[in-house]
Amino acid sequence: MAFSGNFMCTSFKKELLEAVHNFKNSGGSTFNLALYTNSASFDASTTAYTATNEVSGTGYTAKGGELTRVDPSTSGTTALTDFADLTFSTATITARGALIFNESASGDPSVVVLDFGGDKTSTAGDFTIVFPTADASNAIIRIA
């Protein structure tokens, strides 16, 4: 049981075609980022948020933090969207990865699995997830 890379959840792809998710800054869905220990086992088949193996500690509550959506845009023939960086302040936590999920949709359906590549720890400090450059080659969610 461990993280084994980044994954775009297969169920998310289907749900895109069913209009379950809305990434607009104004009026869009509520997306959360939850942190997990390396005991979590997520891959493309992950379908929803779970509290199992979610991290716990000062400065962190179940279901993690709400992400700030950035309006979807296009670059060439690629559509993309982004989130603002997320910080858990004054936090004492250790996490190996994360799950982004739609908190406002029924069942908290998953979007992407993020593998940090190793345990990351903050001690009475800030724990910040920095999203990649929002362009056609790097954005967190792209449709090419």
Residue 140 found at the interface with other proteins (CB under 8 A): yes
Nearer to other proteins, 3 or 27 (CB): 3
Longest Cα–Cα distance in the chain = 44
CB 144 → other proteins: shortest distance, Å? 5
Token pair belonging to 45: 């088949």
CA distance to 17, 74, 83, 139, per residue, from 31 (Å): 18, 21, 9, 16
Give, in degrees to the nearest 5, the angle at Cα 62 between 47 and 44. Answer: 20
Nearer to other proteins, 5 or 107 (CB): 5
Residue 142 found at the interface with other proteins (CB under 8 A): yes
What residues make contact with other proteins under the rule CB under 8 A?
A: 5-8, 13, 44, 85, 89-90, 95, 98, 112, 114, 116, 120-133, 135, 138-144
